[in-house]
Structure 1
Amino acid sequence: MTEAEEYLVDWPAFFATRQELGADFIRILGYFREDGTKSVAAIEAAMRARDAAGLVLPAHTLKGEARQFGAEPLSDIAEAIETIARRCVETHEDPGEVIEHVVKLRPMFEATLAAFERECNPLVERKPGFGRKVEANNQGFGRI
């Protein structure tokens, strides 16, 4: 795991969710990918339209789903967007101050998905975790 992946995901929380969901984990992670992609697009569209109310629900949804999988930095950005947007709705202010968080959102979401994919992909080479390393020898195959 890279240092960036360590920052992006609370891996103990991720593994706890994985264990809790069991066989449904991959399917539900797929829903996170789909819903998250829609939420990020909706947040970006609402920001372009300067629609504070349009920011609230997709940010709230993304916040909760990200937190479920241990994606704390992504969840924190979504929470900041939601909080600022709610305040803007209540005070009838323009949501311009949320732009800095919206700009960070898509790259954080994509990096988080990539980290999840690397962790869940059975074809990714992992560091040896158990057993012994097979040492190459110059005796050839099958020779003692």
Structure 2
Amino acid sequence: MTIGLGQLVDWGVFARARTELGGAFVRILGYFREDGVKSVTAIEQAMRDRSAAGLVLPAHTLKGESRQFGALPLSCLAEEIEMEARRCVEARQKPDDLIERIAELRPLFEATLRLFDQETQAPAPAASRVAPGGFGRRAAPTFGTAQR
């Protein structure tokens, strides 16, 4: 699978998550990193163990968390792994056909994290901060404040 770096993240989804999460964004993105490392490691270990059942939950987790931040190719790959692993569980088969897809997972995850890091190192777009009433002017009184 060849994906250009510009296609790894839907920056509109990323920006929306950043806005909605506000001050908690960086902390939650850190959770994504930690959980993602655990999920990718668990998926790789389950593949080494040839355990289809062991693939399902970490792939499901990675799918949802990736989608939340706009990492759509990562989310789609995790979903593909999850769905094939579920099929294997139901058919009582080993997930041998997933080895190539799982080999793509860690490099895709790491490339996505690098883009997230680059984006979060840049200053967040500042909201326009105009003093109430404008520069050098007294703010108009608001409800519940005493007037002088």
Q: Distance in 2 between matches of 1:72 and 1:17?
A: 14
CA deviations 1:20-39 (Å, max 9, x no partner) are: 00000000000000000000
**Match of 2:102, as an amino acid?**
V
The aligned counterpart of 2:39 is 39
**Mapping for residues 59-138 of structure 1, pairs under 5 Å:** 59-122=59-122
Is residue 53 from structure 1 mapped to residue 25 from structure 2 by the alignment? no
State percent identity of aligned pairs: 62
What TM-score do you get using the length of structure 1 for normalisation? 0.82
TM-superposed CA distance for 1:109, in Å, is 0.1
Equivalent position SS for 1:109: helix
State the alpha-carbon separation in 2 of the partners of residues 45 and 103 from structure 1. Answer: 12
Pairs aligned (count): 121
For structure 2, the 5+ residue unaligned runs are: 124-148
User: How far 1:69 moved relative to its partner?
Assistant: 0.1
Q: TM-score, normalised by structure 2?
A: 0.79
Q: Which has the larger radius of gyration?
A: 2
Q: For 1:117, what is the secondary structure of its paired residue?
A: helix
Ranges in structure 1 where 5+ consecutive residues have no aligned partner: 124-144
- Which protein is richer in helix relative to its size? 1
Name the counterpart of 1:140. none
Q: Which residue of 2 aligns with 1:15?
A: 15
Q: Secondary structure at the match of 1:50?
A: coil
What is the rounded CA distance, in whole Å, between the counterparts of 1:90 and 1:13 in structure 2? 34
